[in-house]
Structure 1
Amino acid sequence: MKTEIIRANSRGHLNFGWLDTYHTFSFGEYFDRNRMNFGALRVINDDYIKPDSMFPTHPHNNMEIITIVHNGTIEHQDSMGNWEKITAGEIQVMSAGSGITHSERNPSMTEDLNLFQIWIFPKYKDIKPGYDQKSFTERLQQKNIWHTLVTPDGNGESLKINQDAYISLAEFDQDAEVVYSIKKAGNGVFLMLINGEIQLDNSKLVTRDAIAISEVSEVSFKALKNTCLIAIEVPMVFAY
């Protein structure tokens, strides 16, 4: 098993006033040549957006973009004709493919917005752009079980993306013994604690810490507190 721990306080941090953001991998004004990606996982940004603030219209291509809202609501508008709101408990997926433009806004005048935006390199380039979103609020109320919500095939009422990648979320009670099993041989998994505390081998991880794990078929750990995690499983070898 090969592992790398990324502590929350070691992430890139930029504060623009309207946007307070933490970058696990090099992005925008933050650059670290040792943190460019984990396999096909290119970006995981932890964004805090002030009320009535926005990312103006901007382009993307050949990237799978997944947005997970933690608190608040985001308003999305794109060149495919989508104009939607995504709230906490919902996930949005967008295959940028051959090219799209979009904007993102916190429409509330009073409530801050916190979201995770994840970018994954695609399996196939220049596909027709696509968009989908779904609420998993009821499903995520079931604790102590992994909920796989983003997949390559859209099975099990999951959202589909253009890569052999899987995104799972879960809440585990204190003292739960947890196993994550790799779904596709050769993939690695990136575990981030949304909140809580876990013990994985000799390492203790706390809120917003992460660990990148490869060359393994399953990962075991113990929840030391009530803990919420996201697991991003991606190919370690891919063509782009």
Structure 2
Amino acid sequence: MKNVIHRANSRGSTNFGWLNSKHTFSFGQYFDPERMNFGMLRVLNDDIVKGGAGFPPHPHSNMEIVSIPLSGALTHNDSTGMEKVINSGEVQIMSAGSGITHSEYNASKTDDVNFLQIWVIPKEDNIKPKYDQKFFRRAERKNTIQPVVSPGKDGGLWINQDAWFSLADLEAQKSIHYTINKEDNGVYVFVIDGEIIIEGETLSKRDAIGIQDITEIEVIARDNSKVLLIEVPMN
């Protein structure tokens, strides 16, 4: 099947003043029937929230929600009584399961926070809601793949799906090989920063490519680059 390429400038957008968000897939006021999902990957939002602002309490159910702060920090509160601050360098996951209400606010009153908000359709519905977060050392993903979310025990945060999230920081001219963890899964590669070559395509900052029907991919950095790889079931 043909690879799917999503250029940064093709994303939908929402700007409420306090929130400036770019949507890779249909979300909120942005709707494109050709951009609903990549397999079980349903949402990938690139959010910038002004100091002192944020998302007030709102409910979710039966969705795996991953947040990755790129700069700044988030303050999290939810209906289970969880109160946490998530800093850049950390990854947060929330299994909404049978139902959870949460809020996410900028932890700073003055500086912006930029984070990726990612939703994955769960493997099992109506599980008990679950929350976790973890700090991941950047040095441990220099020119290599660092698992940050997975269904197994490889150091990543647990997710209710046969899905794997990995980060890699590549120096210019370096490359990595990523091997699919589960047969028939696809992998969605999102360029956080820099420029890479993958499957013969050149991708720049905030570009992405969805690849399936493969067992391994090579990512080559043209410049110093930061990459997020999201492996998900395709159906």
When the two structures are superposed, what TM-score results if normalisation uses the length of structure 2? Answer: 0.97
1:10-29 matches, within 5 Å, as: 10-29=10-29
Counterpart in the other structure of 2:222 = 224
Runs of 4+ in 1 over 6 A off after TM superposition: none
Question: What SS does the aligned partner of 1:9 have?
Answer: helix
Sequence identity percentage: 51
* 8 Å contact from structure 1 (residues 195, 207) kept in 2: yes
Deviation, structure 1 residue 221: 3.0
Name the counterpart of 2:101: 101
Give CA deviations for 1:166-188 in whole Å, capped at 9, x if unaligned: 00001011001221111111100
Aligned to 1:207, which of 205, 208, 218?
205
Instruction: Name structure 1 gaps, 5 residues minimum.
Output: none
1:171 match: 169
Q: Deviations over 1:80-129 (max 9, x none)?
A: 11010000000111000000000110021221100001100000000110
Checking the alignment, whether the CA contact within 8 Å between 2:143 and 2:175 is kept in structure 1 is no
1:147 matched residue in structure 2:
146
- SS of equivalent residue, structure 2 residue 31: coil
Q: Hey, what does 1:118 align to over in structure 2?
A: 118
| Aligned residue in 2 for 1:66 | 66
Retained in 1: the 8 A contact 2:147–2:155?
Answer: no
Q: Distance in 2 between matches of 1:26 and 1:96?
A: 20
Show structure 2 runs of 5+ residues with no match. none
Q: Partners of 2:145 and 2:96 in 1: how far apart? A: 27
- The alpha-carbon deviation at position 200 of structure 1 amounts to 2.1
The corresponding residue for 1:78 is: 78
Report SS of the residue matched to 1:211. Answer: strand
- Distance across 2 between alignment mates of 1:140 and 1:123: 32
TM-score by length of 1: 0.95
- Aligned counterparts of 2:131 and 2:67: Cα–Cα separation in 1: 11
User: Conserved in 2, the CA contact under 8 Å of 1:140 and 1:170?
Assistant: no
Determine the structure 1 residue equivalent to 2:194.
196
Say which SS state the counterpart of residue 115 (structure 2) adopts: strand
Whole-angstrom distance in 1 between the partners of 2:63 and 2:18: 25
Encode CA deviations 1:31-73: one digit per residue, 9 max, x unaligned: 0000000000000000000000011110000000000010001
Counterpart in 2 of 1:161? 159
Q: Distance in 1 between matches of 2:201 and 2:172?
A: 17
Shift of 1:139: 4.9
**Equivalent residue number for residue 40 of structure 1:** 40
State the one-letter code of the partner of 1:179.
Answer: H
**Hey, what does 2:231 align to over in structure 1?**
233
Q: CA RMSD in A?
A: 1.1
- Contact 2:25–2:35 (CA under 8 A) maintained in structure 1: yes
